[in-house]
Amino acid sequence: MDQYTLNLLVVGATFALYIGIAIWARAGSTSDFYAAGRGVHPVTNGMATAADWMSAASFISMAGLIAFVGYDNSSFLMGWTGGYVLLALLLAPYLRKFGKFTVPEFIGDRFYSPTARLVAVLCLIVASVTYVIGQMTGVGVAFSRFLEVDNATGLFIGAGVVFLYAVLGGMKGITYTQVAQYCVLITAYTIPAIFISLQLTGTPIPPIGLFSEHVASGQPLLETLDQVVQDLGFASYTGHHTNTFNMVLFTFSLMIGTAGLPHVIIRFFTVPKVADARWSAGWALVFIALLYLSAPAVGAMARMNIIDTVYPNGLQAEPLAFDERPDWMINWEITGLLTFEDKNGDGLIQFYNDQSESFAATAEANGWAGSEMSVNRDILVLANPEIAQLPGWVIALVAAGGLAAALSTAAGLLLAISSAVSHDVIKATINPGISEKGELLAARIAMAAAIAVATWLGLNPPGFAAQTVALAFGIAAASIFPALMMGIFYKRANNYGAIAGMLAGLIFTVSYIFVYKGFLFIPGTNMLPDTADAWVFGISPLSIGSIGAMLNFAVAIIVSRATAEPPQEIQDLVESIRVPRGATGPVAH
């Protein structure tokens, strides 16, 4: 059986599974659609949360960014993991105890203001739509290679699959679909990692293999990798090369952005009681760790395999001839995500850092006119099994895993958007008397509209999947997280402070991003070049969420202190939320 047919069978089987689960667990009420009837077991919810969390950025892009930049990009791992711990300890149990369906609903009730609720909806939509662009980018990358269609067609197919199971099933269907997707993605990620770790180090456990001896060179793998990348003019793999201040801001932005992401928070609304929310968080961390512990090893080993492919006889010998390039290169070249240009006409593939001043003399002496291979970092995990010449069924499984990661998170994000529109805008503001059947229909229509917008925006992403997602984290960090934290832990925060803080954080952060990334991320619409020299105080648009969050906190506190205290019943409500006892329903108010 050829690889294309095998890919179709495996990916098609997983899609059929997801749609079948959605039909079996379809939502019959608004409670099912928004919160799965609050009857999900903590272990089940932990697995679904892990799938919701480990998006295309985690599965497809993160290891690629680590591979090509090195340990500096481990900030993605530190920020996301630390943020999840923050969410599990400081927000999830208290928000579950409040007993509402959506994050804007909590903000509206806590700050006794319909306006605060609508501002929270705005923040949620901006952050979630930005996040979902990264997922659609991942869907396009996976489809364009494994089903041999162009990127746009892949996006449309992925959007259609999400439409079928998310619109029909709501949170109830999405929950059980995400359990299946977790099983697919974690299997697809770890099996190739085990194979490749065995090939390179003789160790079957990738995190251990990363620090083991490289079989071919007889020295530690990381030491070998450091040596070969520097011999090609690249920065050392294990060194620190970026601005420390910017890296700290970026990691902090990812952390608090994680804790402010509505699509993850609403997963904790699906369990029966507060204690279950805590257990869900614990199980989710276990399930997430299975992938995150392997990611640095996958990145390092993939970088080594790519260099070994281009220089099969060592760096001192001639590189690979263009006409002899392996099938995996030809396959990915068709997608446009792997490109070659024979700049010196010698028929060989030179791959090195042609921006390195220290390596310029060596390149000139070799007769090289520039690096001739460009690799999109989002292809690395998906191409890894082909690079390592693993069996065809592993390649097909990785294709299914990449799509599962992207679709699971996309579904959660789209549910958060549709719930905010139907429950917090239509029911709470426009038509309070709407029937449950009407609200359910509105939620499904909102879901369909959100899918259409996300697909359109996914056609022009602002960067690699993980970088696009990082922008969403910055927006969530600057707008939603401070409102949630002050809503739970600062009784003096009032409606004026919350509204002013959210608007200040959102407007500041989005404006900064648009200046360097462009309007709606459309290339050529940015006002200033997206370079370190042009950034204010060297702060990247990916890191600006930290500053936006500080601004949000400052504005909210100043405005709250300058205006009237919240009503006594609201202060009592805040106290009751923080009482560490389980609750099976909403707090009385």
What does the pLDDT look like over 93-122, one tens digit per residue? Answer: 888 887 777 889 899 999 999 999 999 999
- Number of structural domains found in the chain: 2
| Residue where a domain stops, chosen among 406, 435, 462 | 462
Is the pLDDT reported for residue 587 higher than 50?
no
**What CATH number is given to the structural domain containing 37?**
1.10.4160
475, part of any domain: no
> Does residue 169 carry a pLDDT above 70?
no
Distance set, CA 558 to CA 109, 493, 494, 506, 561 (Å):
21, 9, 11, 17, 5
In a domain, 504, yes or no: no
3-class secondary-structure state, position 213? strand
Whole-number Å distance between alpha carbons of 508 and 497: 16
Angle, to 10 degrees, between the axis of helix 544-562 and the axis of helix 465-489? 20
- If asked whether residues 63 and 179 sit together in one domain, one would say yes
Q: Per the domain annotation, does 372 fall within a domain? A: yes
Same domain, 420 and 333: no
Interval 287-302: pLDDT, tens: 988 888 898 999 999 8
Same domain, yes or no: 41 and 136: yes
Q: What is the tens place of the pLDDT at every residue in 176-198?
A: 888 888 888 898 889 999 999 99
207 and 274 both lie in a single domain: yes
- In this predicted model, what pLDDT tens digit does every residue of 20-72 receive, in sequence order? 887 787 766 777 777 667 788 889 988 988 887 777 777 777 888 888 888 77
63 close to 375: Cβ distance less than 8 angstroms: no
Single out the residue of 419, 552, 409 nearest to residue 479, CA to CA: 552
Residue 156 lies in a domain: yes
Q: Residue 37 is encoded by which pair of tokens?
A: 């009837």
Encoded amino acid at 95, one letter: L
Residue 313 lies in a domain: yes
Domain match, 176 and 239 both: yes
Q: Helices (DSSP H) in 210-346: which residue ranges?
A: 221-231, 244-259, 262-265, 274-292, 295-310, 327-335
Distance in angstroms (rounded) separating the CA atoms of residues 147 and 143: 5
Domain-ending residue, one of 462, 480, 502: 462
Q: Are residues 271 and 418 in the same domain?
A: yes
Domain that holds residue 245: 3-296+388-462
Residues of the chain with pLDDT > 90: what percent? Answer: 25
- 326 shares its domain with 343: yes
Q: Which of 345, 360, 386 is the last residue of a domain?
A: 386
Q: What is the pTM of this model?
A: 0.81
pLDDT over 70 (residue 354): yes
Task: Classify residue 507: in a domain, yes or no.
Answer: no
Q: Is 454 found in the same domain as 352?
A: no
pLDDT(395) > 90? no
Assess whether 275 and 187 both reside in one domain: yes
457 belongs to a structural domain:
yes
Examine residue 139 and state whether it is found in any structural domain, yes or no: yes
Q: What is the pLDDT of residue 196?
A: 92
